[in-house]
Structure 1
Amino acid sequence: MSSPDERPVGRGELTARELVRWTWRQVTSMRTALVLLLLLALAAIPGSVVPQAGVDAIAVTRWKDEHPDLTPIYEKLDLFSVYDSIWFSAIYLLLVLSLVGCIVPRLFVYARAFRAQPPPAPRNLSRLPDHSSYETALPADEVLARARAVLGKRYRLRKAEDASAGGDAVSAERGYLREAGNLLFHLSVLIVLAGFAIGGLFGYQGGVILVQGSTFGNNLTQYDDFDPGGLFTPEQLDEFDFTVEDFDVEWVESGAGAGTARGFRAGLSYREGDAREQEYNLRVNHPLSINDTDVFLIGHGYAPVITIRDGEGNIASTGPTPFLPQDQSFVSFGVVKTAAAEPGQIGLEGLLYPTFYLYDGDPASVFPDARNPLVSMLVYTGDLGLDTGESQSIYVLDKSNATQVTDEDGKPFRVDLSVGETVKLPDGLGSVTLEGVKPWVRVQISQTPGKEVALLGVVLALIGLCGSLYVRPRRVWVRARTVAAGDAGDTMAGRTTTVVEVAGLDRSGNGDLAEVLADLVADLKKAAPQDEGDLP
């Protein structure tokens, strides 16, 4: 008896158990999986259009500076880290759940189909599109035995049955590898998902900009940006270091493609642990592999070497500062700032022109290679926020409490420097010197522990897909029945003959089944006695 507090289920209503079952069927349907796959593709679009913090933190900083109004909205929607956002993870997990719930039951269906026996012969074989028949003097048992021997070489046979269970026919089928291909393909999808899950949980990806001549040691403090997996531990970091010895770009000098890069090469010297130093030419799509870690070359630019002297003549800062390319001509934006200058902090903000040319009074770069570099920068002094203890981007100059340096006419003072030139700053603030220009490279360092598993899944998927597309499933039946040869007044009265019916069904629709049946009939007729031959 039901409890008095339990409300009876009305007509057309679902119980809690039925509701859960219905929900599960909806989530694990192929239609839902396709919708979620479409949603995942749409959700990945912002990750391809908007710079991602885990891929290029520098590009994210530049984008925020260029779009201050949209930045709060994008941050609230996690558009700078799309693949780590809650909404993207929800779609991805639902898709995985839907695929698993959709694929696992099909694995059992394909497994049963792969082991299944051929179906029994239809009652009327002559109704099939491809069929043939003939008469022979051989007993029906011998015809069926011959049929089993011929078909058994290339077909799977149904177990022999007695006459009461329809044992007057032989059932054969081939093309079971098609079901094996379907089984393998669906299983490979789960393997690929597992590979991606392993990589996402245990892997990591980081990036760093290195000026020519600088050294990188593989520890967390050396990375400019670092995106670890959910189960990543610092112990996974392989022990190695490398130095960027040189960097070469092969430029197209003439023609329609003049100014485009044909090839990149970064000469590295690296050491694994305490092993001896080795050399490697790092190129695009040719990463340096050290144990489980891969080092990729993904970008390059220029770093002007600028020396700032304060009003007392002391060196406040010196060294290369990476500038960020703004266009294909590699006109680059950068910031140089120093807190050690006296009497006040000094900041520079401006552009680097790799091959400077004054075109109609406007500065431009006519070639991306650093053949005639020039920096053009505005000067700021005062409080640049360098003493607050808060972290700052090296590509952002805090000018909220600073004063822009002007010339005698009250116009913004601009520092225009070629290599080797020095400009004195107004009001005894000091001087700025461009010592030279060095190339920098951006490298991506990552571990993807599940990539072999994912690759195995892709290979298995291709094999399974080929099997399901190119294997031709086919069913063939041979029935032999003993009938009277003629009437009582006929000369053959009292004798019997065997009527042999052969039919087939091509499940792939290739249209060559008639030839197959003709060859089978020819093989079966070879068993007839030579002296009697086939009956008319």
Structure 2
Amino acid sequence: MVSLARRWWRWLTSMRTALVLLFLLALAAIPGSLVPQRNLGIEKVDAYRRANPDLSRWWDRLGMFDVYASPWFAGIYLLLMASLVGCLTPRMREHATAMFRRPPTAPKVFSRLPAHAEVGAAALPAAEAAKVIRGTLRGFRVDVRTEDDGSVAVAAEKGYLRETGNLLFHFSVLAVLVGVAIGYGWGWYGNRLVVAGPDHAFCTSVQQFDEYGLGPRLTQADVPGYCVELQRFTAEFTEAGQPTTFSADVAWSGVDGEQRPYQLEVNSPLRLDGANVYLLGHGYAPQLRYTDRAGRAQTAVVPFLPADGMLTSDGVALFPDANADTRTGARSKDAQVGFAGVYVPTVPAGGPPGISAHPTERDPAVLLTAYRGNLGLETGVPQSVYALPQRALDDGRLKQLDTPAKLLRRGEAWTLDDGSTLEFLGTQRWITVAVRHDPGEPLALAGAVAMLAGLTVSLSLRRRRVWFRVTPAPGGCQISAAGLPRTGYDAFEQEFAGLVNRARDATGAAGRQADSPTAAATP
């Protein structure tokens, strides 16, 4: 059992396994970009569910709507963390030792190395010539040794920081993974659709979020209390309908209750102590007033969700208190009213009225279909506020009226068959915001920056070694040189020739200038 565990540990901590796991992690992150994520926009997830009901059931089982919190994604990055720790720790220890190790001694036979040359004879003592040569090796880590036969060897090494960059890169990957793990354990998020106006302000408690998620190390009491109100939203578009600017004027308050203004934009989130507020999306909320057959009016501001780039929006307006008993106030069981349809910011001059011609409100209208019956809201079963109750439609408790769909422009009213009326009063703007706290974000950002720095160092440096041997001779000394690139380095021959020429000039050795190691070998 021990030997089997040791073999598995060696396999897990190999660099090949780490690369495979890193590749699997990149593949596992792809669905997070292709499938809408709950923590980024619940309304997009709901729209995807409506468009793909059968596929969405499988995505739910596989955790595709919350990829980065799924067990299978967590399993991959935990294995990758263990693999990186296991393979980098011994390499770090070896590299720390090598950083302070003297350059290796000169080989006995220089001609066996890929680059070698005869510098020539110099009229200097061997020790003095070695000292002069050492001064020419700028940027190299140099060591001078006296050999047994009296020769002086100058060993030089350069590019040893390449391994430092390599290790920095891999430890940075580990730092990013640790940052993700910290964010998952101690981070939280909440999404909310906010309609303009003080009546629709919200506070950052989990009960007021449309969708939220808490890290396993947090409780609801750990979420800081802030309140946010949308005062005004401005969007500008080109004539072709392409967005140019989005800006939301919000007011926020903390525990002191003092309201502070802020202009929220896509790339300018509201940064608070312990939370950040991000602008995600926007749309229109039609304001509808329904007057039932008893003359009681109800007004609803209902957000409609965009279905295309021109902000053609789908939604429903439900009036469960319509036609209630005038004596007891009890809700009706068969005369509740709902409307479903689309909101069009700009009704096209020609073509179907249910598709907007421009996202700006130039000729706004709602195209609605009326339903009457039992909305089934008293059953306690959760249901979407952006669609009619499907169960009530399926079992016939809620039925569509025979009256055809009606297009209402601002200020127009629609009289139904029982004398009740629906008026389109106008619209208000809404935005979707994400309130997030990720304590691992600084570590992940620092890891990403260090990763780029380590990769740059690792790819730009080339490790190489150079040796000079100064042998005592009558009237001075004889100098020879050799070099060895430790990694692929096409310019090493030219660099080596330049070192030989500098050594020749500095020592005054007899010989001609060399452009390559081959030329340097024939003075």
Compute the TM-score of the two structures, normalised by the length of structure 2.
0.86
The 1-side partners of 2:317 and 2:340 are apart by: 7
Tell me the residue number matched to 1:332: 313
Deviates more, 1:106-115 or 1:418-427: 106-115
Gaps of 5+ in 1: 1-15, 486-495, 527-535
**Separation of aligned partners in 2, 1:183 and 1:37:** 16
- Alpha-carbon offset, residue 162 of structure 1: 5.1
1:514 equivalent to 2:504? Answer: no
Give per-residue Cα distances to partners, 1:193-250, cap 9 Å, x unaligned.
Answer: 2222211211122211111113222221221111222223334433322221111111
Aligned residue for 1:523? 506
Q: What displacement does 1:522 show?
A: 1.9
**1: CA distance, partners of 2:349 / 2:119:** 93
2:356 corresponds to = 365
Match of 1:114 among 86, 94, 99: 99
Q: Secondary structure at the match of 2:398?
A: strand
| Contact 1:267 1:281 (8 Å CA) reproduced | yes
Residue 41 of structure 1 aligns to which amino acid in structure 2?
A
Contact preservation (8 Å) 1:267, 1:280: yes
**Is residue 111–residue 183 contact of structure 1 (8 Å, CA) maintained in 2?**
no
Q: Which letter does structure 2 place at the counterpart of 1:521?
A: R
1:14-29 equivalences in 2 (<5 Å): 16-29=1-14
Deviation at 1:118, TM superposition (A): 0.6
- The aligned runs of 1:362-401 (5 Å cut-off) are 363-398=354-389, 399-400=393-394, 401=396
Which residue in the other structure is 1:187 paired with? 171
> In the superposition, relative to structure 1, how do residues 79 and 427 fare at CA in structure 2: closer, same or farther (>3 Å)?
same
- Partners of 2:251 and 2:351 in 1: CA distance: 45
1:150-205 deviations in whole A, cap 9, x for unaligned? Answer: 54x643233645527x8631212233332322232222222222222211211122
1:84 equivalent to 2:66? Answer no
Other-structure match for 2:347: 356
User: For 1:243, what is the secondary structure of its paired residue?
Assistant: strand
Q: Give how far 1:369 is off.
A: 1.1
Match of 1:500 among 479, 490, 498: 479
Greater Cα offset, 378-387 or 61-70:
61-70
Q: With CA pairs under 8 Å and 6+ residues apart, which has the higher RCO, 1 or 2?
A: 2
2-structure distance, mates of 1:314, 1:300: 32
Alignment of 1:11-410 (within 5 A): 16-128=1-113, 129-148=115-134, 151=137, 154-158=139-143, 160-161=145-146, 163=148, 168-213=152-197, 214-253=200-239, 258-274=240-256, 276-315=258-297, 317-342=298-323, 343=332, 344-357=335-348, 359-360=350-351, 363-398=354-389, 399-400=393-394, 401-406=396-401
The separation in 2 between residues aligned to 1:191 and 1:39, in whole angstroms, is: 18
Q: Are the counterparts in 2 of residues 405 and 426 from structure 1 also a CA contact under 8 Å?
A: no
Contact 1:146 1:524 in 2 (8 A): yes
Q: Is the 8 A contact 2:314 2:343 kept in 1?
A: yes
Match of 1:474 in 2: 464
Distance across 1 between alignment mates of 2:238 and 2:340: 31
Matched residue of 1:426: which SS? coil
Distance 1:73 1:502, change over 3 A: closer
Q: Across the two proteins, how many residue pairs are aligned to each other?
A: 490
Q: 1:4 matched to which residue of 2? A: none
Distance between the aligned counterparts of 2:171 and 2:120, measured in 1? 46
1:27 and 1:33 in contact (8 A); partners too: yes
Contact persistence 1:506–1:513 (CA under 8 A)? no
Shift in alpha-carbon separation, 1:111–1:235, aligned structure 2, 3 A: farther
Does residue 455 (structure 1) correspond to residue 445 (structure 2)? The answer is yes
Give the RMSD, CA atoms, in angstroms: 2.5
Decide whether aligned partners of structure 1 residues 291 and 148 sit closer, same or farther in structure 2, where only a CA change above 3 A counts. Answer: same
SS in 1 for 2:355: strand
Deviation at 1:360, TM superposition (A): 4.5
Separation (CA, whole Å) in 1 of partners of 2:226 and 2:369: 40
For residue 261 of structure 2, give the secondary structure of its aligned residue in structure 1.
strand
Q: Which residue of 2 aligns with 1:532?
A: none
CA distance in 2, matches of 1:177, 1:135: 34
**Alpha-carbon separation, structure 2, partners of 1:276 and 1:361:** 49
> Does the CA-based 8 Å contact 1:354-1:369 persist in structure 2?
yes
**Residue-by-residue CA offset, 1:410-455 (whole Å, 9 max, x unaligned):** x454243211122122134x22111111111111111111111112
* Deviations 1:58-83 (CA, angstroms, capped at 9, x unpaired): 22223223333333333222332232
State the SS of the aligned residue for 1:69.
helix
SS for the counterpart of 2:244 is: strand
Tell me the residue number matched to 1:9: none
Indicate the percent of aligned positions where both proteins have the same amino acid.
Answer: 38
Cα separation, 2, equivalents of 1:442 and 1:158 = 65
Instruction: Give the whole-Å Cα distance in 2 for the aligned partners of 1:458 and 1:81.
Output: 23
